[in-house]
């Protein structure tokens, strides 16, 4: 009976979320906000009364969803579009994450009672922009951006999660093992990124050959084969010490820019699957949150949010793009599109699972920062683009 009830509730939540997402697009509010709110309403402190308090399960669901979302994003990324902005996007997704982490971490340490390492951990958790939010906002809208801004932001959001993941897990390790040397962490970063890229290329090229040569009798199995390749890429890269998220995105980028059997059908399939994963991920995160625990952190959460949006993100963008020929208004807009989404909330479960002191408080602060960012930045992106004269209608 429990399984039937779970299926009923789950299907209703999915149906409501899909219907609400249409409304959110008309209002200009990111869908993730509605998905999170639906999850919170269905949770133990909402009208649904569903008790859910398992960060480990949430983390697992988040990893599964992120692999699919990054794989779908990589498939949709056109190399010819991102090639001119490749270097500046990668600088934003690596050095930019580091600058954001440091700036926000030192600020949090200055205004709160958190230790420097804990403060840097919060900075690392919220340092990456959200790929799911960026992809959905730009690819579902009726306008596009001038000056290669869109591919810059999409490539940055698709490749900065691995750096944020590394920073988050490294700082957790440092908190638990304070005698670890910084030099060993630097070597680990080089290994993580290096293996992620190399294995991503290997699996991407190998995936193209496999899909084109296996000749499956049932056409519907080709997307299933691609899903298997995505998770195989992630897991093998992870187990040899590389960054699985980066390898998945790189492999999908190679696959999406190659010719393979049933390409159009598979691209459409992964678009739908990525949306499903977004909805499931956000609903789960909404269920995990206890609104009564968010209320006490609203004050400090607002201060940290505004510093992140108005100081840390612009500082990272302007410093990273200073060597490149990027117009001032482009830098201003890129600074504003620092949307935080599900990834920081998922990363915020890592300290809880690891047993870090103050982890629940960190989670609640990160959740509030994410909500603030999505509401303030996500709902004003298109308006801000038009104000700066960077938005032009798409040609259908």
Q: Which two tokens stand for residue 259?
A: 């010719």
Using alpha carbons, list the distances in angstroms from residue 94 to 89, 159, 234, 252: 9, 8, 20, 20
For residue 41, the model assigns a pLDDT of 83
* Six token digits for residue 13: 């939540």
Could you write out the three-class secondary structure of the chain? CHHHHHHHHHHHHHHHHHHHHHHHHHHCCCHHHHHHHHHHHHECCCCCCECCCCHHHHHHHHHHHHHHHHHHHHHHCCHHHHHHHHHHHHHHHHHHHHHHHHHHHHHHHHHCCCCHHHHHHHHHHCCCCCHHHHHHHHHHCCEEECCCHHHHHHHHHHHCHHHHHHHHHHHHHHHHCCCCCHHHHHHHHHHHHHHHHHHHHHHHHHHHHHHHHCCCCCCCHHHHHHHHHHHHHHHHHHHCCCCHHHHHHHHHHHHHCCCCCCHHHHHHHHHHHHHHHHHHHHHHHHHHCCHHHHHHHHHHHHHHHHHHHHHHHHHHHHHHHCCCCCCHHHHHHHHHCCCCCHHHHHHCHHHHHHCCCCHHHHHHHHHHHHHHHHHHHHCCHHHHHHHCCCEEECCC
pLDDT given at position 357: 87
pLDDT of residue 1: 45
Give me the pLDDT at residue 393, please: 63
> What's the pTM?
0.87
User: Which are the contacts of 62, defined by CB distance < 8 A and separation ≥ 6?
Assistant: 281, 284, 285, 342, 343, 345, 346, 349
Confidence (pLDDT) at 237: 95
Q: Which residues contact 40 (CB under 8 A, 6 or more apart)?
A: 46, 286, 287, 289, 291
Show me where the domains of the chain are located. Answer: 55-393
Task: Say if residues 238 and 187 touch (Cβ distance below 8 Å).
Answer: no
Residues of the chain with pLDDT under 70: 1-2, 21-30, 131-143, 393-396
Left (φ > 0), alpha (ψ -120 to 50) or beta: where does 355 sit?
left
Closest CA to 33 of 279, 276, 271, 301: 279
Distance between CA atoms of residues 311 and 301, nearest Å: 15
Q: Cα separation of 67 and 86, whole Å? A: 22
Taking domain 55-393, whether its CATH number is 2.40.50.140 is answered by no
């Amino acid at each position: 009976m429990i399984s039937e009830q779970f299926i009923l509730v789950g299907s209703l939540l999915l149906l409501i979320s899909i219907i609400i997402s249409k409304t959110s697009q008309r209002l200009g509010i990111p869908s993730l906000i509605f998905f999170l709110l639906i999850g919170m309403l269905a949770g133990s402190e909402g009208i649904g009364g569903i008790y859910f308090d398992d960060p480990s399960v949430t983390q697992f669901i988040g990893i599964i969803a992120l692999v699919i979302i990054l794989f779908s994003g990589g498939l949709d990324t056109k190399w010819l579009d991102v090639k001119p902005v490749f270097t500046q996007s990668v600088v934003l997704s690596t050095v930019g994450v580091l600058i954001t982490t440091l700036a926000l971490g030192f600020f949090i340490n200055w205004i709160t009672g958190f230790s420097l390492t804990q403060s840097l951990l919060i900075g690392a958790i919220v340092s990456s922009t959200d790929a799911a939010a960026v992809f959905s906002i730009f690819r579902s809208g009726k306008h596009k951006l001038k000056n290669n801004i869109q591919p810059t932001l999409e490539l940055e959001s698709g490749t900065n999660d691995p750096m944020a993941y590394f920073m988050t897990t490294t700082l957790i390790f440092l908190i638990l093992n304070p005698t670890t040397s910084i030099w060993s962490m630097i070597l680990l970063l080089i290994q993580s990124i290096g293996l992620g890229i190399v294995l991503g290329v290997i699996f991407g090229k190998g995936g193209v050959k496999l899909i084109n040569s296996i000749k499956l009798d049932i056409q519907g199995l080709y997307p299933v084969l691609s899903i298997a390749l995505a998770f195989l890429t992630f897991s093998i890269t992870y187990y040899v010490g590389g960054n699985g998220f980066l390898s998945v995105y790189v492999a999908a980028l190679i696959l999406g820019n190659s010719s393979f059997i049933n390409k159009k059908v598979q691209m459409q399939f992964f678009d739908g699957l990525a949306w499903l994963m977004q909805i499931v991920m956000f609903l789960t995160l909404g269920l995990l949150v206890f609104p009564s625990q968010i209320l006490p952190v609203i004050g400090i959460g607002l201060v940290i949010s505004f510093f992140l949006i108005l100081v840390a993100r612009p500082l990272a963008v302007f410093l990273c793009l200073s060597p490149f020929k990027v117009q001032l208004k482009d830098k201003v807009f890129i600074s504003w599109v620092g949307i935080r989404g599900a990834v920081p909330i998922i990363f915020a479960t890592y300290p809880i699972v690891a047993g870090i002191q103050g982890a629940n408080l960190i989670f609640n602060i990160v959740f509030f920062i994410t909500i603030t960012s999505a509401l303030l930045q996500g709902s004003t992106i298109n308006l801000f683009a038009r104000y700066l004269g960077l938005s032009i209608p798409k040609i259908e």
